[in-house]
Amino acid sequence: MLPLSVLVLHGPNLNLLGQREPGIYGSSTLEEINRLLKAESLKLEAKVTSLQSNHEGVLLDAIHGSLGQHQGIIINAGAYTHTSVALRDGIAAVSLPTVEVHLSNIYRRENFRHHSYIAPVVVGQISGFGVQSYVLGLQALVHHLRKDEV
């Protein structure tokens, strides 16, 4: 049996993690997060492929390209969370189970961050646990895909 394959998408400015507003986003770099996800995927007997882009169209192409390649998506769309109807429609179009993650708790921050265009088309959202949001998101998605009861 082929292992479950999960696409992890990181949106704009997340390439600067580690140096970007560490009081809000922590000190881990994107590379460290991707390494953590790889390690977690091994434990879960799944496979992750990560991509970061500052461009909405590149993220959208990756969502489209996931059809037939991956069984689910983890997405931190960064600021596009609050602006992008295109990413929301893309997720709805491919209809792959998707988990939305955020390092910070977007509901404790500025009002403009309280609305997510993506939230209505994902299985669920994890927000506010720093790098653990990604790990929890991956665990939740794999359990969801395997329909584990506990």
C-alpha–C-alpha distance, residues 48 and 43, integer Å:
12
The closest alpha carbon to 130, from 51, 25, 53, belongs to: 25
Closest to ligand DQA by CB, 88 or 102 = 102
C-alpha–C-alpha distance, residues 63 and 96, integer Å:
9
* Beta carbon of residue 106, minimum distance to ligand DQA (angstroms, whole number): 5
As a dihedral over the C-alpha atoms of residue 14, residue 19, residue 25, residue 27, rounded to 10 degrees, the angle is 120
Give residues in contact with ligand DQA (CB under 6 A): 13, 76, 78-79, 81, 102-104, 106, 113
C-alpha–C-alpha distance, residues 62 and 134, integer Å:
18
C-alpha–C-alpha distance, residues 119 and 82, integer Å:
10
Using CB positions, name the residue nearest to ligand DQA: 78
* Beta carbon of residue 34, minimum distance to ligand DQA (angstroms, whole number): 14
Tell me if residue 102 is catalytic: yes
Tell me if residue 25 is catalytic: yes
Instruction: Single out the catalytic residue among 10, 70, 80, 102.
Output: 102
Closest to ligand DQA by CB, 53 or 81 = 81
Closest to ligand DQA by CB, 72 or 137 = 137
